[in-house]
Structure 1
């Protein structure tokens, strides 16, 4: 059988999952659990799952490790996307983007507004982008918001996004 392309829904996408939080532990990381469960149910593979504090340096250490890992195709981060003083995920990851996916944040906030939290959706700075050949999604820390993003936006398009970022190799 020939190698499966990222657009083939049978091809598992290899993910890194990072929870950014000063308070979450493996025992109470509900948002990380939601990402992992939904990704595995969709047939994807988890390369690694980690938790780090809301600190730029800690996020960068994990991000740089996964960017160097040739197996990781997409990085999903939950937490640190709000407007609190310690929320630094967006400031940390966006300088890495080679191809910002502005539509992700726009659609996520729209869906959050209409299906979840109403006007509080404007407080979310959720974003996504390509970093070279890898996709990165930065999601809120709320497990309900993570579920919404995974089911309505990320999982339906993940194969296509990875394909678009890697098709030059084909």
Structure 2
């Protein structure tokens, strides 16, 4: 099947969850979480779950498990992907994923380097994978990084990814 054929699959509905990992943000100040929600809704997706948790491994793991248990198609996580001691999102996600999607992080860093932040892109540990039947994307918490990931990578491939997971 060609790439065009793969991308032509349409979803009746796309059920999504959004998780913001931050020690400082709340619903009023979570620009990145709101950006994700807006982009998903603009593309006809339903946001079934939205949570903000502290950058604590136990809280992140519980939130991921709770959201995934709601039979959603995609979980979009922002925050906690850097290299600071408090950044533990990726360690938690890596423990939970059944399959990794390494291309997401690789291309995200390449785009970040060429379009946005230059050599600082090496500090990002953005990643993606699959937990059961749910695609999981972990991206940095900055709104610029979220916009880049959503517009250039996630939204263009969303129906294709969900179709492949559910084959």
| TM-score interval, smaller chain | over 0.9
Q: Which residue of 2 aligns with 1:39?
A: 40
Q: Distance in 1 between matches of 2:58 and 2:97?
A: 17
Question: SS where residue 166 of structure 2 aligns?
Answer: helix
Shift of 1:56: 0.5
Offset from partner CA, 1:22-75 (integer Å, 9 cap, x none): 0001010000011011110011110011100000110111111122212x1110
The TM-score normalised by the length of structure 1 is 0.91
Q: Distance in 1 between matches of 2:33 and 2:13?
A: 19
Question: SS where residue 61 of structure 1 aligns?
Answer: helix
Question: SS where residue 145 of structure 1 aligns?
Answer: helix
Q: Distance in 1 between matches of 2:69 and 2:143?
A: 28
Q: Which residue of 1 aligns with 2:166?
A: 166
Q: How many residue pairs align between the two structures? A: 161
Q: Which residue of 2 aligns with 1:3?
A: none
Find out whether 1:132 has 2:132 as its counterpart: yes
Q: Which residue of 2 aligns with 1:9?
A: 10
Q: Which residue of 2 aligns with 1:120?
A: 120
The TM-score normalised by the length of structure 2 is 0.93
Alpha carbons 1:10, 1:43 under 8 Å: kept? no
Q: Distance in 1 between matches of 2:82 and 2:114?
A: 19
Q: Which residue of 2 aligns with 1:21?
A: 22
RMSD: 1.3
Shift of 1:7: 6.2
Question: SS where residue 47 of structure 1 aligns?
Answer: strand
1:76-95 matched pairs, under 5 angstroms: 76-95=76-95
